[in-house]
Amino acid sequence: MEYTKPVHEVADVIKTHRYELEKEGKLNHHKKRVFTNLSQCRTEKLGYHIDQCDHDQCGYVHISYNSCRDRHCPKCNGLKREKWVRQREEDLLPVKYYHVVFTLPIQLNQLCLTQVVIMYNLLFQSAWQTINKFALDHKHLGAQTGMVCILHTWGQTLSLHPHIHCIVPGGGMDKQGKWRNTKSQGKYLFPVKALSKVFRGIFTDGLIKLDKKGVINLEPKFIVDKKYLHPLYKTKWVVFAKLPMHNTKQAINYLGRYTHRIAISNHRIKSIDNDMVKFSWLDYRDSKTKEMPLPVIEFLKRFSLHILPPGFVKIRHYGILSSRKKTRAINGARGYFNVKPPVSIKKLNWRELFVLIYKHDPMICPKCKIGTMRVIQSSLPQIRGSPNLKLPVNTGFYTS
């Protein structure tokens, strides 16, 4: 599918209206830096490099402005995502994979805003403890399984909606180190309603411990032996499960769509006019795509809600898929299924990886298709200004 450049970008809104948000005191230092990165991505302010075709009869010149590489940038995560997908394919097993989503109720949104790291860490831990509890139960599996999970904090309208997407293999390793397939013959790995209740219990137990330590302040307080009386128990806790994916690559490619996704892509922005931003969103109630207008300040406020703290790990691996256990578990499972490991991409450089994924060499001249593009000049990031260059007549000038 051919790439089409979006007409409007998140960076356009940031450039023109970020300072109004800063005056309101809504941005901390880290969020200001992210906004700066996004607004300067692939502009002269981040520097550039000039490539020229080395073919004698061509000499085509291409100027590329540098990318910001921020994980919140709509333009910088394509290759990262594809690389992640290829690396996960090396760990695939010939079993069913299940997609499970753990969601926090809206009543916890305020705590998620004020205690970001604590609440999201608790979400990860509670989701894994829930899956692991069911997996170890001999009624369901009787072995330790694994889980790859990815945090998302947004809904379709950019509102705060913390949830994690998880991929769980249909099996695990027992205490003797042997692979054991799931006993489930239905469409779900474990009973969904039971998962929701156990997840609610584990997460609220974590909240109680944090409240007792004074890390968070719960109002109203939990009565330990009467947890069911608390308002959080009267709301619906959602654990959503989809049909198992029989094609293992389909499972990873599906999850890959979520790995490096940000709150909104540039292609969803339809217009920026009269201090209003209009963007498309999918209404899950009727599965129809609609458009939502928001004042630019409100749009930036909502976007900033989903900027994660520096260093926060949003993709995590648990159980037999964790770094410590993965090699032994996967080798054991491959022995059980008598399958050979795939060819690794770990030793490929960025150019070889690009060719593998996108099926063309980025260093081949786009004009003559014969010569190789060589770097003839580069510039470090600068505060302002643009390259002052006298380019040949046959120059192609565009950003990449």
Q: Would you give per-residue pLDDT tens digits along the chain (400 residues)? A: 455 788 999 999 999 999 989 988 889 999 999 999 999 999 988 999 999 999 999 999 999 999 999 999 999 888 788 888 877 777 777 788 888 999 999 999 999 999 999 999 999 999 999 999 999 998 888 999 999 999 999 999 999 999 999 989 888 888 888 888 887 766 678 888 899 999 999 999 999 999 999 999 888 888 877 888 888 888 889 898 876 766 666 766 776 777 778 899 999 999 999 899 999 999 988 989 999 999 999 999 999 999 999 999 999 999 998 888 888 888 877 888 888 877 777 778 888 888 887 888 989 999 999 999 999 998 888 654 444 444 443 333 333 3
At residue 96, the pLDDT reads 82
At residue 234, the pLDDT reads 81
At residue 385, the pLDDT reads 40
The two tokens of residue 356 are 């593998």
**292 within domain boundaries:** no
* Neighbouring residues of 234: CB distance < 8 A, sequence distance ≥ 6: none
Q: Are residues 103 and 243 in the same domain?
A: yes
- Within 10 angstroms of residue 252's Cβ, the number of other Cβ atoms is 23
Segments forming the whole domain that contains residue 54: 10-72+350-397
Q: Are residues 234 and 320 in the same domain?
A: yes
Q: How far apart are CA 400 and CA 394, in angstroms?
A: 18
Q: Are residues 258 and 320 in the same domain?
A: yes
**282 within domain boundaries:** no
Please give the model's pTM, rounded to 2 decimal places.
Answer: 0.88
Q: Are residues 326 and 215 in the same domain?
A: yes
Q: Are residues 127 and 15 in the same domain?
A: no
Q: Which of 293, 313, 337 is the last residue of a domain?
A: 337
Beta strands in 274-355 (DSSP E): 276-283, 288-295, 315-319
Q: Backbone phi, then psi, for 98, in 5-degree steps? A: -115, 135
**84 within domain boundaries:** no
At residue 395, the pLDDT reads 36
Number of domains in the chain: 2
Residue type, 190: F
Partners of 239 in beta bridges: 102
Q: Are residues 317 and 390 in the same domain?
A: no
Q: Does an H or E element contain 101, and which? A: strand 97-103
Q: How far is CA 162 from CA 88, 118, 153, 166, 292, in A?
A: 24, 13, 4, 13, 21
**286 within domain boundaries:** no
**290 within domain boundaries:** no
**68 within domain boundaries:** yes
Apex 313 CA angle, 309 and 319, nearest 5? 155
Nearest to 187 by CA among 250, 103, 98: 98
At residue 386, the pLDDT reads 40
Q: Are residues 40 and 161 in the same domain?
A: no
Q: Are residues 167 and 36 in the same domain?
A: no
Q: Are residues 22 and 149 in the same domain?
A: no
Q: Are residues 226 and 331 in the same domain?
A: yes
At residue 3, the pLDDT reads 57
Q: Are residues 250 and 370 in the same domain?
A: no
**200 within domain boundaries:** yes
Q: How far apart are CA 240 and CA 100, in angstroms?
A: 6
At residue 187, the pLDDT reads 67
**269 within domain boundaries:** no
Q: Are residues 331 and 356 in the same domain?
A: no
